[in-house]
Structure 1
Amino acid sequence: MKLSIPFGIDLGTTHSAAAVYLPGASHPLSFSDEHNRHVMPSAIGLSPAGDLVAGWPAIEGQFGPVTPLTSFKRRMGQRALLRLHDREFTPTEASGHLLSALTGRFSEQLRDREEGAELRLNRALITIPAYFDLPQVEATREAGELAGLEVIGLLQEPTAAAMYYSWKHQLNDGNFLVYDLGGGTFDVSVIRCIAGEYQVLGIDGDNHLGGDDFDRRLADLLRARLNQAGYALGTTLESEDDHLRFELLARHARVLKERLTDQAVAHLQVSEIFSDRQGQRVDLDLEVSRNDFTTSISDLLQGTLAACQRALHQSQEQAAVGLADIDYVLMVGGSTYVPAVQEAIAAALCGPGISRATAPLSDEPEMCVALGAALHAATLGRVRIEGERADIALELEDLPAAPGDPLSGQMELSPEKDAHALELHAPGGEVLARAPLRRHAPGQWNFFLPGYPGGLSERPRAVAVDASGTPVASLTMWLPMRAAESLPAPAPTLSNPAVLSKAIFLEVVENGHPSRHMLVPRGAHLPTRATHRLLTADRSAAVVLRLFQERLPIHTLVLPLPEHTPVGTPLTLDLDVDEALRMSARGTIGPQDFWVRIDPPQAPAHLDWPTIEALLMRADQVGARLWGFEAERFADRVIPLVAGIEAAVHQDPVRLQALAHRLRGLLDDFAPRPTRVPGLTRVEATLNAIRRAVFRRGGTLQGLNQDDWRARLETLQAEVRRVWHEDDDRAWGQLADRIQAIYETVAQDDSRFLRTNPEAYARRVHEVLKLRAARLRQEIREFTRSPDPDERALQEPELLDIDAALAADIQAPLQSIGETANGAPMARHQEELEQLSLRLEQLDDRLQRVRTLGLLKRAEDA
């Protein structure tokens, strides 16, 4: 008898893992090899005989002449070829080989697990980072199929971790912040659990940030030390040999990093690891302190905290769940073992006055995603019992925990009759229970048995009978008794386990020009259906449906129409997106119905350095043309990106690509045309800010009442749409400046108005100061340290001092004021609040000066 058991896979960047919830078990069983290692390195390589190997055999020879392929998850969905000696693989193919090896070894582990039954692992739930886009999601699914698996679902990694922590620790309902820092990807999710139902409220992350980047920073430190010792390694990656040397240094750095987890100072001694640029053999004999390592990764770590704040901002907007409402902070991923990570998370996200979480929870951080995936796989894909006949199978939703418990499932029958029943027979033939079978789909039958008698010493048989009682199919049941003290099989509701990380748009025409119409917003819970009504705009005898994920084209559908179809003919469009981000579109236009599966898009093309350099120059030009609050918003977002690009040029080409694409998206938002600054979305955002200020205040503002303002804003909105689609760039610039001037004036008037109401003014100042302080802390944490160790040594003490002063001099007093003014007048703190505002400005100025520490001044400026 064969038992097909659904199982979970955590396809990781550095390591991968698997787990399965066996029928009748009290806990998921995780993969383990002959050395009791529960994870497999995400690597493929060549054996000494030249055979393709995966996992530990691949990295055992990692310092040999053929470097194994690693971290290919970071390139999932990209149009890339990875070279392994004389062979080439796509990231999807490399992942497929890895999954095949992991599944095969896990199957070997389970071979003799159950007496009289052959356990088969051919149906898998695979986890993905929460921020994977469509090409990356589809590449993961294809990798599973290449490994010969039926992919029953894709689950976001933070949600899988939250499921496991909740199940393992019997956590009550609450709000979770899941901090998932793996080898090459970082995700953070804010998840709410109510009565066993999980809802994703906010997500953020970086699929090019993780422990691999920590290794590279440490490798850069090693390279600098070796250069100081007289070796010729340079500071750039100008040749293939430079790349290979740095990659080998990164592998040794990983060993050093693991030692620094338990040691304050670690020593690394390796002889003749490679030759330098002048042919001299290089020996590694160095000591590195944990403080040195922490300093080298501090900007990356602060970047993860900034992503946490962005995810919390989403959850605050969507469900009023902020950091103060977080009940549990969950640590996920092997890189959370790094002491600096644990300390930073505890300080920033846990403790009195910050959140309800007293400390981060860390329980099997490398395995919790796979274990959570196994729990969810047990609810998605039932245990399938297969008999001798291939056309008959029984699927069990859950095996009884005790006699009398319900048993439900599904049976596939070859006969196509409408009336069948399922019977449980004792070994002697006695009917123990009988339930009708109801057709679910062709060949698919649902049944529910209310219970079965206790005391069964032998396994009964399941027999399907037709309406007359004639048996039409039977097979042996497999009902192991679960111990009374065992935990029941998991049955989480898990509605909305996935959310859409990037909005879906349809290109439409407005006033004769192409524009984008949002079909599904970012953050929408999946599965979802979006229904939209559109109209034909011309007599071209065709409709073109061009879909985008943000600005990435994903599908174009051309529908022919009868000639002379009238302009304005309505079209109804339904866009369906499932949990695994598979999409389809259906609709009606006139008498014609259509349906199409939307194939996943290709990844964006590789950006060469001249293109990236042009983006940097364009960023300078856009920044010079903006002013006021809009200039501040642009600078807040573009400065960290530009600094990150400059730091990644010689250290991490893969991260360089990710940052460059983000910069291009930001520029498209602020200046979609070189001659149109700011862009349409930014001007409309300013109009919305004016609306909020005007209607929040009420009454008369600038001599206009509420009705006058409503008419004025409607006129401005219409003018914005009209001028944007005209070819007069000068007129657009004048209109944008006028709207921004209105906003600046309204904001100032709003402030003056509040001053006439001391209590409202004090409370407004208090809220603004809290937001400014939070933003300054985020800027400190996102600050991109110099890649040069000596310059970074100048910056780090100043940044730490500013951060400490912010916490002690600003945030602590603000919290105290908020607590004492709860229900009492806050106006009595007005003088103190104004002093805090001045102090905050001083700290902000200090942060800006950190960027210029040590720089020279021109003589004419002295």
Structure 2
Amino acid sequence: MTSYAIGIDLGTTHSCVGIYQFDKVEIIANDHGSRTTPSCVAFTDEKVFVGEPAMDIALYDPENTIYDMKRLIGRRYADESVQSDIKTWPFNVISDNGFPKVTINTNGTKQIFKPEDISAMMLRKIKITAETYLESSVEKAVITVPAYFTDYQRQATLEAAKMADLDVLRIVNEPTAAALAYAVIKEDMRGTVLVYDLGGGTLDISIITITDTHCVFVKGTHGNTHLGGEDFSNNILEYMIGICKNKYKKDIRNNKRAIARLRHQCENAKKKLSFADEVTIFIDCLIDGTDFKETLTSAKFNDLNYDAFKSTLEPVKKVLKSAQIDKYDVDKIIMVGGSSRIPKLKNLLQQFFDGKEVHTSINPDEAIAYGASIYAAICNGVNIRDKSNIIIEDITPMSLGIQIKDEMFSVIIKKNASIPCSFVKRHRTAHDNQTVAAFLVYEGESANVRGNNFLGKFRIHGIPPGPEGQEEFDVIFSIDINGVLKVSAINLSTGIDGSIIIDRNF
């Protein structure tokens, strides 16, 4: 019996799945005939809906329709980005021991879900879509994540996949998957390649070397896990809310159903403006029997999002600096992700690179799933078009280390280190007569841990008391092929050790 391995792009707003077979990738259409599925789950008194039906339910029951979980997964409730998003979501988000969870009400009963639970429902839907197409069970998958996802977010994604009964062969960064797709499909896609990946909720920029033997080596990555098409749609929404108040004398901000209907039309308008000069937003009986009608031009859309569009170039500048590459040394530019269709963004990127061609020949909505499907086949032992020597080498998106005295950050694995990898660094006791050593793990680039992401902690007890600096520890950081971190330490005088695999349960 054939053992299939699928490639999944688990997106903020839409998800996509593919399979490599018969020497090509097939992007698999869902039961509605769509090659992408909305990353949306709706709860009714009768059942749970995923994808297109959930989007329809959002128009009349927005409080029980959940989306954007990629913006919530692996984060803390107090995160600035979470607090910002909560203000725009119609569904309820609560704090549970510092972690965000969503609540829904059906049949008079309140239910609470982790972001991973919702993502798992999406993955189950995708799994069923693939199984229906292949007429066979599917257990193995490669799943993509933003290159700038934290270790915490990667672990949470793996947890969601496990809940969906998927064996994850690899977690691969989205720009790397896109580069692999182009490396295999486009024979001239060689040299130093910049991948600009802008989806519904995240922006990733990677510098990648593609060799003549189709090998993919990541040299640098930067991004923003809270910038994408959703933000552009929200800017239109805010503008239209103002139009409704000033032109029609109706304040709809606290009417969740009206907001959901208007949001839906703003999203459609954004998509249409990728190929039209203007679009009319019309909603019958938006509120209190009042019809809403307003024309939005591409010029106004660009004006509303000017700051957001310009901000997408900052990670481009940072990744070039990080990879120590001049913009003139970039041979090829690839744009992927649904938001890369916005003409102004392509124009800004071309201007930055002095008119260099931007490649979008693989469907931007499907390119990442395309590459993930090829990677899944490689991991599953399939020979890709006689290119059996393909190598994919990724990197750590952020530096990793521990807190030392005075809240300083001691880096153990530097940003852009190739993975998998393992590094050891020696540390000593920070105080006199210390009998317990706490190891607090962080990721980031700030010299002070307060500016970095806290990942987890563990302790070693039973240290012989003595003067500061007498007792020594070897601290070992290891990152596996999926970018998941394990930290351990050993007291050299006693042999006592401790460790942690960074997850949500420290």
Query: Contact 1:587–1:593 (CA<8 Å) still a contact in 2?
Result: yes
Q: Counterpart of 2:437 in structure 1: which amino acid?
A: V
Structure 1 CA distance, aligned partners of 2:496 and 2:378? Answer: 36
Q: Paired residue for 1:539, among 430, 433, 440?
A: 433
**Residue aligning to 1:9:** 8
Query: Contact 2:222–2:318 (CA<8 Å) still a contact in 1?
Result: yes
Summarize deviations over 1:728-749 as a string: whole Å, max 9, x none.
xxxxxxxxxxxxxxxxxxxxxx
1:122–1:59 distance in 2 versus 1, CA, 3 Å: same
**Structure having greater relative contact order (Cα 8 Å, sep ≥ 6):** 2
Summarize deviations over 1:403-436 as a string: whole Å, max 9, x none.
xxxxxxxxxxxxxxxxxxxxxxxxxxxxxxxxxx
Q: Counterpart of 1:325 in structure 2: which amino acid?
A: D
**Residue aligning to 2:442:** 548
Following superposition, the deviation at residue 376 of structure 1 comes to 0.9
Summarize deviations over 1:36-80 as a string: whole Å, max 9, x none.
311000000135x63011111211222113452111111111321
Structure 1 CA distance, aligned partners of 2:505 and 2:326? Answer: 36
Query: Contact 1:103–1:121 (CA<8 Å) still a contact in 2?
Result: yes
Find the residue that maps to 1:3 and give its secondary structure. coil
**Residue aligning to 1:617:** none
Following superposition, the deviation at residue 226 of structure 1 comes to 1.8
Summarize deviations over 1:604-658 as a string: whole Å, max 9, x none.
xxxxxxxxxxxxxxxxxxxxxxxxxxxxxxxxxxxxxxxxxxxxxxxxxxxxxxx
1:64–1:298 distance in 2 versus 1, CA, 3 Å: same
Q: Paired residue for 2:391, among 471, 488, 493?
A: 493
**Residue aligning to 1:519:** 412
Structure 2 CA distance, aligned partners of 1:349 and 1:338? Answer: 17
**Residue aligning to 1:600:** 503
Structure with the greater alpha carbon radius of gyration: 1
The answer as to 2:481 corresponding to 1:579 is: yes
**Residue aligning to 1:215:** 233
Summarize deviations over 1:693-716 as a string: whole Å, max 9, x none.
xxxxxxxxxxxxxxxxxxxxxxxx
Q: Paired residue for 1:69, among 66, 69, 79?
A: 66
Structural RMSD (CA) = 2.3
Which structure is higher in helix share? 1
**Residue aligning to 1:799:** none
Q: Counterpart of 1:88 in structure 2: which amino acid?
A: I
Query: Contact 1:165–1:171 (CA<8 Å) still a contact in 2?
Result: no
Query: Contact 1:331–1:362 (CA<8 Å) still a contact in 2?
Result: no
Q: Counterpart of 1:148 in structure 2: which amino acid?
A: D
Following superposition, the deviation at residue 8 of structure 1 comes to 1.0
Query: Contact 1:215–1:251 (CA<8 Å) still a contact in 2?
Result: no
Structure 1 CA distance, aligned partners of 2:228 and 2:465? Answer: 57
Following superposition, the deviation at residue 244 of structure 1 comes to 5.2
**Residue aligning to 1:166:** 183
**Residue aligning to 1:265:** 278
Following superposition, the deviation at residue 490 of structure 1 comes to 6.0
Query: Contact 2:140–2:166 (CA<8 Å) still a contact in 1?
Result: yes
1:362–1:350 distance in 2 versus 1, CA, 3 Å: farther
Query: Contact 1:198–1:493 (CA<8 Å) still a contact in 2?
Result: yes
Q: Paired residue for 1:559, among 460, 465, 482?
A: 460
Structure 2 CA distance, aligned partners of 1:342 and 1:564? Answer: 62
The answer as to 2:486 corresponding to 1:502 is: no
Q: How does 1:41-60 map to 2 (within 5 A)?
A: 41-46=38-43, 50-60=46-56
**Residue aligning to 2:298:** 290
**Residue aligning to 1:27:** 24
Structure 1 CA distance, aligned partners of 2:113 and 2:389? Answer: 39
TM-score between the two structures when normalised by the length of structure 2: 0.86
**Residue aligning to 1:310:** 318
Q: Counterpart of 1:364 in structure 2: which amino acid?
A: N
Following superposition, the deviation at residue 565 of structure 1 comes to 6.0
**Residue aligning to 1:791:** none
Q: Counterpart of 1:322 in structure 2: which amino acid?
A: D
Following superposition, the deviation at residue 250 of structure 1 comes to 1.7
Q: Paired residue for 1:530, among 416, 423, 440?
A: 423
**Identical-residue share of aligned pairs (%):** 22
Q: Counterpart of 2:442 in structure 1: which amino acid?
A: F
Q: How does 1:86-125 map to 2 (within 5 A)?
A: 86=106, 87-111=111-135, 119-125=136-142
Query: Contact 1:506–1:517 (CA<8 Å) still a contact in 2?
Result: yes
**Residue aligning to 2:352:** 348
Extract unaligned runs of 5+ from structure 1: 112-118, 352-356, 383-396, 402-486, 604-862
Which structure is higher in strand share? 2
Query: Contact 1:72–1:95 (CA<8 Å) still a contact in 2?
Result: yes
Find the residue that maps to 1:28 and give its secondary structure. strand
Following superposition, the deviation at residue 553 of structure 1 comes to 2.8
Following superposition, the deviation at residue 570 of structure 1 comes to 2.8
Structure 2 CA distance, aligned partners of 1:562 and 1:202? Answer: 40
**Residue aligning to 1:336:** 340
Following superposition, the deviation at residue 360 of structure 1 comes to 3.3
Structure 2 CA distance, aligned partners of 1:362 and 1:350? Answer: 20
Structure 2 CA distance, aligned partners of 1:337 and 1:159? Answer: 20
Structure 1 CA distance, aligned partners of 2:141 and 2:375? Answer: 10
The answer as to 2:96 corresponding to 1:81 is: no
**Residue aligning to 1:569:** 471
Structure 2 CA distance, aligned partners of 1:35 and 1:514? Answer: 54
Q: How does 1:776-787 map to 2 (within 5 A)?
A: none
**Residue aligning to 1:632:** none
Summarize deviations over 1:77-132 as a string: whole Å, max 9, x none.
13212233443322111100010011112111111xxxxxxx33111111000111
Q: How does 1:628-707 map to 2 (within 5 A)?
A: none
Query: Contact 1:134–1:601 (CA<8 Å) still a contact in 2?
Result: no
**Residue aligning to 1:398:** 382
Q: Counterpart of 2:492 in structure 1: which amino acid?
A: I
Find the residue that maps to 2:231 and give its secondary structure. helix
**Residue aligning to 1:371:** 370
Following superposition, the deviation at residue 296 of structure 1 comes to 0.9
Query: Contact 1:179–1:332 (CA<8 Å) still a contact in 2?
Result: yes
Query: Contact 1:182–1:210 (CA<8 Å) still a contact in 2?
Result: yes
Structure 2 CA distance, aligned partners of 1:3 and 1:578? Answer: 28
Q: Counterpart of 2:435 in structure 1: which amino acid?
A: A
Equivalent residues, number: 467
TM-score between the two structures when normalised by the length of structure 1: 0.52
1:569–1:563 distance in 2 versus 1, CA, 3 Å: closer
Structure 1 CA distance, aligned partners of 2:388 and 2:27? Answer: 16
Following superposition, the deviation at residue 242 of structure 1 comes to 4.9
Following superposition, the deviation at residue 253 of structure 1 comes to 0.4
Structure 2 CA distance, aligned partners of 1:8 and 1:267? Answer: 37
1:219–1:544 distance in 2 versus 1, CA, 3 Å: closer
Following superposition, the deviation at residue 270 of structure 1 comes to 1.8
Following superposition, the deviation at residue 333 of structure 1 comes to 0.6
Structure 1 CA distance, aligned partners of 2:274 and 2:315? Answer: 24
Summarize deviations over 1:238-269 as a string: whole Å, max 9, x none.
xxx25654343221101112222222121222
Query: Contact 1:179–1:188 (CA<8 Å) still a contact in 2?
Result: yes
Following superposition, the deviation at residue 601 of structure 1 comes to 5.2
Following superposition, the deviation at residue 560 of structure 1 comes to 2.2
Q: Counterpart of 2:441 in structure 1: which amino acid?
A: L
1:243–1:300 distance in 2 versus 1, CA, 3 Å: farther
Following superposition, the deviation at residue 34 of structure 1 comes to 4.2
**Residue aligning to 1:133:** 150
The answer as to 2:219 corresponding to 1:201 is: yes
1:564–1:220 distance in 2 versus 1, CA, 3 Å: closer
1:152–1:398 distance in 2 versus 1, CA, 3 Å: closer
Query: Contact 1:350–1:360 (CA<8 Å) still a contact in 2?
Result: no
Q: Counterpart of 1:592 in structure 2: which amino acid?
A: G
1:38–1:535 distance in 2 versus 1, CA, 3 Å: same
Q: How does 1:691-770 map to 2 (within 5 A)?
A: none
Query: Contact 2:233–2:267 (CA<8 Å) still a contact in 1?
Result: yes
